[in-house]
Amino acid sequence: MVRVVFHNILIVKPSSLGDVVHGLPVLVKLRRTFPGARISWLVGMPAAAIVEGNPNLNEVIYFRRRAGGLFGTARAQAALLRKLRRGKFDCVVDLQGLLRSALFSAATRAPVRIGLSDAREGARWFYTDVVEVGARMHAVDRYLAVGKVLGFDSAEPEFALEALPEARQSVERMLGAVAGVSRPFFALSLGARWASKEWPAENFAAAGSELLERFGGTVFLVGAADAARRAREVEERMEHAVVNLVGRTSVGELVALISKMDLVVATDTGILHIADALGRKVVGIFGPNDPARSAPYFQRENVLTAEGRCPKAPCMEHECDGMDMICMKSVTGDDVVRRARVILEGGI
């Protein structure tokens, strides 16, 4: 039962890429619950393309972590706080759960400010309503728990993620400039925000080579610019030519590119969750992180793990502590191809 009809709602979820994707079902539910409301999203620049152009949103408010040095950043932060204060929001939903996001929420002076019980850094003290969530709930389900206050349930979440037309056109031009591409299209996502989540380059190369041997088609290497060195290493180890697009696409173009893939192989990164939200088939490789919390939401059966070969997994540590990353190294290229056969041809 909705306690009150809200007219001006702000979602605070600045980062990261996969987490912003996980928050999209909240936006869809809010729009259906409050069809006449003005809904805004406060997002960091690196993840902004995930929400830009979304038909369920009225406004995107940009958070710039750095803006032209110390004074430029201070001016940008002050301008953001003024904008939030003048926004006259009657409800704020803080999905980030950190002190900074809670301060943004408080700056609005909204009479209702909703956050989750696992918020950190004292953030929950800035909320008027705290929603209890479990430690091992999937991120999507955790975020949708705010519906207990807002009057919607967590059933049948929808992401409503689509590539923008200009990004689609850019990707079409990009692919048109590459000779000899053929289906099926496979994407290998090489980046990882944690060093402990990196899958070895030789494993990526083995998986890519075996996929091409088995199915033909084209392998695309994707990821942010900081994965360029690993991409070169994978290319050098591959037995077939690949299309290396690491660091060569914007986030918007990446969404458009992933929407064309037949299969995406990735660790627990934003690209994995983008692919799942777009309905693309995935193979997820998990080690230090907990699949219960962040597996691809619709394809949890397509997660590969070390199956108990590391006694500490899932440790949730950013750096491997003395286990030589056995949780990631134990998942092989053969494991990926066996799962790909199940997905693509019903093999075993």
Please give the model's pTM, rounded to 2 decimal places: 0.94
Highest-pLDDT range among 190-194, 311-315, 340-344: 340-344
pLDDT value at 285 more than 60: yes
pLDDT at residue 144 greater than cutoff 80: yes
pLDDT digits (tens, 9 = 90+) for 30-41: 999 999 999 999
Instruction: Give all strands of the β-sheet with 303-304 in edge-to-edge order.
Output: 243-244, 218-222, 185-189, 263-267, 282-285, 303-304
Q: Which amino acid is residue 202, in one-letter code?
A: E
Average pLDDT score over residue span 14-18: 94
pLDDT computed for residue 67 by the predictor: 65
| Lowest-confidence segment of 180-184, 243-247, 297-301 by average pLDDT | 180-184
Domains of the chain: 8-150 (3.40.50.2000), 165-345 (3.40.50.2000)
pLDDT over 60 at 257, yes or no = yes
What pLDDT, on a 0 to 100 scale, did the predictor assign at position 327?
A: 83
Q: 37 vs 57, 127, 131, 140, 291, CA distance in Å?
A: 10, 21, 22, 22, 35
Q: Which whole number is the average pLDDT over 296-308?
A: 91
- Region 223-241: mean pLDDT is 93
Would you state the pLDDT for residue 197?
78
pLDDT band (50, 70, 90) for residue 348: very low
Dist. CA 305–CA 288, nearest whole Å = 9
> What is the overall mean pLDDT for the chain?
92
| Residue 51 and residue 41 in contact, taking contact as beta carbons nearer than 8 Å | yes
Q: What is the DSSP letter of 155?
A: S
Percent of the chain with pLDDT over 90: 81
pLDDT at 28 over 80: yes
Per-residue pLDDT tens over the stretch 82-131: 999 999 999 999 999 999 999 999 999 999 999 999 999 999 999 999 99
Q: Which two tokens stand for residue 129?
A: 């309503």
The pLDDT assigned to 11 comes to 98
pLDDT at residue 1 is higher than 50 = no
Look at residue 74 and tell me whether its pLDDT is greater than 80. Answer: no
Give the pLDDT confidence score for residue 68 in this predicted structure: 61
CA atoms within 13 A on the CB side of 38: 8
